[in-house]
């Protein structure tokens, strides 16, 4: 329908285009809540170690099988504005934390469901929002109180955290192997800045190649460049490498203006070509003089320059991505040079080994055995492309949570333990608040319990019995440690 109004003279004015739908008040609230809840219901069955996988088929017929919340929502074509906001919740969680996207969406969906019940009781949205905000502040206090400090050298705790993040991923018995790789990778790139530890996982390169098995996945203390050595006459393996990182072309640059060179006899042509060759030879001589035996160039390398580099026994790769060049600099300790005249021995990076290897169908250059590298690479192998993709998602989650723990030095128990403790504390807190906000805080407490309830449902357990048992055990002094073990169906200490 179209929306019209009239001017003072009575002339009709079209406000909204034909076919526009308009809703307001309770109808709009219900529509938005329903759309957001649908997203939560889609992801709900994927939560936890016993969660189910989803098979997604896009418009091109490509198939993705995963239970990773961020991956599922990324593949979905969501149209409703409120549903899109739920997708943004997942993306924000993924960007900020790197894991927990399904938990965030399921919890947000349940909070909206409880809010709708309060709206049906004629409680104003402002009061609900105020109550929810107070509940959030109280929940943060509870989390900080029950959180357990973790030392960066406590490898067992880091291993448990990494394994928890991969519990729902279809990587089978390789979880332990991948967890060890994730821990070693993050610990290698940790930096101390003042009194804070920073573990930026952007400094960890993940390369995935089909072939072999997950147990052949490896950590490279250096960088993997998805390029070939540019010339067949160059060495394919260089030990004790001195690496030049160039952001300038090893070729004769074309002028920005049109020019003609008139050549009247063959000697002039030969002189012209000889001069070009001389310039390229001088470029290579500068690299040789600096002591480099490996060159990574972000730009092009002329065929003649390749010949001279090969003649000098220098391994070279061209058109290396900027992100890889930055990782090379961090791993080898070298500096990226934009003008060849500025290249000095002090600008060179070092590595114990630079070698071209064939991985699957592709040739790649491994830069490894770097001394105290601030950037590392993880090579993920698996027999199937879908398995490689799932292993990459598992590794990304593990890297994210391990880096979070190292930066924040705290962990909380899983299995719904922390959510049950928050719910218990919120119900006690609500009684002290009073007024209608009390109802909103109690609704928040009920909503938080959706996590242990869903874990139980997905494991084939009786959710009501699990919630009742959790509430009872959390009244004890060490109750905050107790959660549901979905593999045994029992309430246990989650740290053990």
The catalytic residue positions are 68, 101-102, 397
Q: DSSP readout, 243-295?
A: EEEE-S-BSPPPPSS-------SHHHHHHHHHHHHHHHHHHHHHHHHHT-SEE
SS3 content of the chain, % helix, strand, coil (to 5): 50, 20, 30
The residues facing 207 across adjacent strands are: 379
Question: In angstroms, rounded to a whole number, what is the distance separating the alpha carbons of residues 329 and 243?
Answer: 9
Query: Judging by beta carbons within 10 Å of its beta carbon (0-12, 13-18, 19+), is residue 425 exposed, middle or buried?
Result: buried
Angle, in degrees to the nearest 10, between helices 101-120 and 125-146: 140
Could you tell me the end-to-end alpha-carbon distance of the chain, in angstroms, rounded to an integer? 61
Question: In angstroms, rounded to a whole number, what is the distance separating the alpha carbons of residues 138 and 145?
Answer: 11
Distant-in-sequence, close-in-space partners of 343: CB < 8 Å, separation ≥ 6:
244, 246, 286, 287, 290, 292, 337
Angle, in degrees to the nearest 10, between helices 125-146 and 417-433: 130
Distant-in-sequence, close-in-space partners of 160: CB < 8 Å, separation ≥ 6:
none
Q: How far out from the chain centre does Cα 305 lie?
A: 39
Closest CA to 107 of 376, 362, 342, 454: 454
Rg (CA), the chain: 30
Find tokens 């959180």 and name the residue. 147
In degrees, to the nearest 5, what angle opens at C-alpha 226 toward C-alphas 224 and 228? Answer: 110
Closest CA to 207 of 14, 360, 23: 360
Query: Judging by beta carbons within 10 Å of its beta carbon (0-12, 13-18, 19+), is residue 193 exposed, middle or buried?
Result: exposed
Cβ count near 441 (within 10 Å): 24
Question: In angstroms, rounded to a whole number, what is the distance separating the alpha carbons of residues 453 and 421?
Answer: 14
Cβ count near 266 (within 10 Å): 8
Please check whether residue 28 is in contact with residue 16, taking contact to mean a CB–CB distance below 8 angstroms: no
Question: In angstroms, rounded to a whole number, what is the distance separating the alpha carbons of residues 402 and 199?
Answer: 9
Please check whether residue 110 is in contact with residue 80, taking contact to mean a CB–CB distance below 8 angstroms: no
What sections of 45-124 are H helices per DSSP? 69-75, 81-96, 101-120
């Amino acid at each position: 329908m179209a929306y019209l109004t009239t001017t003072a003279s009575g002339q009709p004015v079209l406000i909204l285009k034909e076919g526009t739908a308009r809703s307001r008040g309770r109808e709009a609230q219900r529509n938005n809540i329903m759309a957001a809840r649908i997203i939560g219901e889609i992801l709900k069955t994927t939560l936890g170690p016993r969660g189910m996988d989803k098979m997604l088929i896009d418009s091109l017929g490509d198939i993705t099988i995963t239970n990773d919340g961020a991956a599922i929502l990324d593949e979905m074509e969501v149209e409703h504005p409120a549903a899109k906001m739920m997708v943004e919740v997942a993306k924000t969680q993924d960007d900020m934390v790197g894991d927990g996207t399904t938990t965030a969406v399921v919890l947000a969906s349940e909070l909206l469901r409880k809010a709708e019940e309060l709206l049906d009781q004629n409680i104003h949205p402002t009061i609900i929002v105020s109550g929810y905000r107070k509940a959030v502040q109280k929940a943060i206090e509870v989390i900080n109180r029950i959180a357990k400090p973790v030392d960066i050298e406590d490898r067992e705790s880091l291993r448990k955290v990494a394994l928890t993040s991969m519990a729902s991923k279809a990587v089978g018995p390789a979880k332990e192997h991948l967890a060890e790789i994730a821990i070693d990778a993050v610990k290698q790139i940790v930096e101390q800045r003042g009194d804070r530890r920073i573990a930026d996982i952007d400094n960890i390169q993940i390369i995935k190649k089909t072939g072999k098995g997950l147990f052949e996945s490896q950590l490279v203390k250096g960088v993997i460049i998805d390029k070939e050595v540019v010339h067949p006459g160059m060495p394919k393996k260089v030990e004790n490498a001195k690496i030049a990182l160039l952001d300038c072309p090893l070729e004769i640059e074309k002028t920005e203006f049109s020019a003609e060179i008139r050549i009247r006899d063959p000697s002039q042509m030969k002189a012209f070509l000889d001069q070009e060759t001389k310039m390229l030879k001088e470029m290579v001589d500068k690299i040789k003089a600096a002591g480099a035996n490996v060159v990574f160039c972000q730009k092009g390398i002329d065929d003649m320059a390749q010949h001279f580099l090969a003649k000098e026994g220098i391994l070279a790769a061209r058109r290396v991505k900027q992100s890889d060049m930055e990782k090379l600099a961090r791993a080898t300790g070298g500096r990226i040079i934009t003008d060849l005249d500025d290249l000095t021995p002090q600008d060179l990076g070092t590595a114990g080994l630079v070698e071209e290897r064939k991985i699957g169908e592709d040739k790649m250059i491994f830069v490894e055995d770097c001394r105290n590298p601030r950037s590392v690479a993880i090579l993920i192998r698996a027999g199937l492309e879908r398995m490689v993709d799932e292993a990459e998602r598992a590794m990304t989650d593990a890297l994210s949570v391990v880096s979070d723990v190292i930066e924040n030095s705290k962990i909380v128990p899983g299995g719904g333990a922390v959510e049950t403790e928050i719910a218990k504390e919120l119900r006690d807190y609500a009684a002290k608040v009073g007024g209608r906000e009390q109802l909103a805080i109690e609704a928040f407490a009920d909503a938080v319990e959706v996590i242990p309830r869903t874990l139980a449902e997905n494991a084939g357990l009786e959710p009501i019995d699990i919630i009742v048992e959790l509430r009872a055990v959390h009244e004890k002094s060490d109750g905050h440690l107790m959660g549901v073990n979905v593999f045994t169906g029992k309430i246990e200490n989650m740290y053990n």
